Structure 1
Amino acid sequence: MNRTDPAGSWRSWPLADRLLLGACWAAGIALVAIAASIVLYMGFKGIQYLRPDLLISRPVSDLDQSKSGGFLDPLLGTLLIITGAIVIAAPLGIATAVWLVEYGKPSWLARMVESGVEVIAGTPSIVLALFGLAFFAQQGLGFLSTTGEGGAVFGRSLLICCTVLSLEALPLIVGATREGLLATPRHVREASFALGKTRAATIHRVLLPVARPNIATGTALGMGRIAGDTAVVLLLGGGTLQLESNGSIPGLNVLQGTGSTLTTYVYANSPSGEGGAPQKAYAAAFLLLILVLFLNWVVDRIARGSEQLGWIR
């Protein structure tokens, strides 16, 4: 093999290796083409129908959704659910990853935790939704849920929806944070210990800042999965077009109430749905795509430790 000509060295490879290299290039190009096609198609269709008034008007129940309001409430519901679920999943996921990598004792418990995270990662969202519906419909958890006459607990609210959706983001955050911690060289830890730092201080001051890009990656992936979920929102969020509060505590009563997200709005108004407003579905889908990309950008900025958005120090 001619090592002085890296650009043309592949020509001297065995035929099988060259075929494999070509297959890898083809797969990569195909993946980029598919992603670009989705973005361009949704952008083309969404921009046609996205109007400013749709962002500030509330949806109204009607047999023909094409003539009834916008999607302000589903947009607010999406932001509430993404924020609430990540607020629950991120600290828990980071703490779980730190414990598994830096402590991991007793070993039998660490193995159980790892198995539990893997099981959650492989569980379909509809199963999580059914579990959440059965669990939060208990009488003792009625303060988290909407209730009916006679004190019947329905097990549905945006807060419950956030709690269950946090389970979908948890494995992604745990896995990405673990990778970042395991990739940190051991001598970094030893140098911190040699300076008299405790294990807790080393984790807080050294390891977590190094793992910030990985934490951001897991958080961004988790937000994407939360934002794209429909089954959990339909079963646990109540599926109401408008945000309906429940309770007397300002702010919390919105989370205790019901609502919908952009995904459920798109589902209901898609060409195969019952809302009869595919134009609004395209506009809402495009807005959801822009929202997820924006949130990913924000998380990336936080991870890179910009002075304006500094996080872990």
Structure 2
Amino acid sequence: MSTITEPETNDSGSPLDTEVPEKARKHALGDRIFSGLSFTAGITIMVALAGVFVFLFIEGYPGLSVDERFYRPKTDFWSYVGPLVFGTTYAAIIALVLAVPFAIGIALFISHYAPRRLAGPLGYVIDLLAAIPSVVFGLWGGRALADQMKPFLIWLEDTLGFLPFFGGPASVTGRTLLTAGVVLAIMILPIITAISREIFLQTPRLHEEAALALGATRWEMIRMAVFPYARSGMVSATMLGLGRALGETMAVAMVLSASPIVTLNIISSENPATIASNIASNYKEASPDRQAVLIATGLILFAFTFAVNFLARYVAGRSERRMAR
């Protein structure tokens, strides 16, 4: 006569699930593996950045105090690198002023205004701009855009010549800092647009519906619900675009005929040089001491970019903390 065995129970009388510990062990193992891979990736990035800094410091430190003939037309390193920092910052600011409004507008159109059938393909086209090499942008800017900019530069001089930015004389070649800024703006547009679009799409749907239910128009809903939520993401997107503009090399070098000067004029033939374009233009034929000077300017650019990104992270984090309150 067969006997029926009852399932094992614990102290409370409920049956024991023998599969749970095994699944828990598998999940814990997967968590440990993923955590280890993530930690390794983060450490690798930090080690790589530290390695870049160490290389720039070791190779560039001698360039801080070489013979003054290697700093021509200046006499020491800091007077040599100062105009380059100014030109780098100035070109990046021009690019941001041109790119950010368009990027935010395109991101809003894709996320909140465009029909779904149009939003997807338009987003793909904008993202594809990021895949175009810098050399292509530089060739287009130096050969095509520069010629198209010449009538506009003349108009700026005639109309707004009383401003220091457009004092002229307008360049006859079109290769100006303004042209380089337009090229940089197009290059950083996909980065800012893509990040802003994703942040806008993550806005809680209930916040948007609540604003609309209270009688807000679509623009009022965006201004009161979307922008406050996406503020930190927009700052981060802008700073990422700024980092790309600060470090861009070939496009600026192929557009500008630059010199180490400080001027606010962005439509004349005398343009301030950027650090990256100066390195690209002079490194190949440079002597060892001259190479050390150029690497030292690269160290300054590294430190400047790091400081900008650190400041951007602080601003974004402060915005997030304010939203959490």
Does the 8 A contact of 1:136 with 1:142 survive in 2?
Answer: no
Between Structure 1 and Structure 2, the one with more helix by share is: 2
Structure 1 residue 188 corresponds to structure 2 residue 204: no
Does the 8 A contact of 2:171 with 2:268 survive in 1?
Answer: no
Alignment match, 1:35: 49
Q: Structure 1 residues 69, 59: closer, same or farther in 2, change over 3 A?
A: farther
Please give the per-residue CA displacement for 1:142-191, whole angstroms capped at 9, x wherever unaligned.
53899xxxx98423000110111011111111111111111111111011
Alignment match, 1:72: 82
Structure 1 residue 259 corresponds to structure 2 residue 272: yes
Does the 8 A contact of 2:63 with 2:294 survive in 1?
Answer: no
Counterpart selection for 1:143 from 141, 154, 166: 154
The one-letter amino acid paired with 1:121 is A
How do residues 85-124 of structure 1 correspond to structure 2 at under 5 angstroms?
85-105=95-115, 107-108=117-118, 110-111=119-120, 113-124=122-133
The one-letter amino acid paired with 2:106 is T
Structure 1 residue 296 corresponds to structure 2 residue 301: no
TM-fit CA distance, 1:267: 3.0
Where structure 2 has 5 or more consecutive residues not aligned to the other structure, the ranges are 1-18, 158-169
Q: Structure 1 residues 130, 269: closer, same or farther in 2, change over 3 A?
A: closer
Where structure 1 has 5 or more consecutive residues not aligned to the other structure, the ranges are 246-250
Alignment match, 1:239: 258
Alignment match, 1:248: none
Q: 2: distance between equivalents of 1:132 and 1:213? A: 32
Structure 1 residue 176 corresponds to structure 2 residue 186: no
The one-letter amino acid paired with 1:132 is G
The one-letter amino acid paired with 2:151 is G
Alignment match, 2:239: 220
Structure 1 residue 279 corresponds to structure 2 residue 288: no
Does the 8 A contact of 1:89 with 1:170 survive in 2?
Answer: yes
Structure 1 residue 125 corresponds to structure 2 residue 138: no
State the Cα RMSD in Å: 3.8
TM-fit CA distance, 1:265: 2.5
Q: Structure 1 residues 144, 260: closer, same or farther in 2, change over 3 A?
A: farther
Superposition TM-score, scaled by structure 2 size: 0.73
SS in structure 2 of the partner of residue 71 of structure 1: helix
Q: Structure 1 residues 91, 303: closer, same or farther in 2, change over 3 A?
A: farther
SS in structure 2 of the partner of residue 196 of structure 1: coil
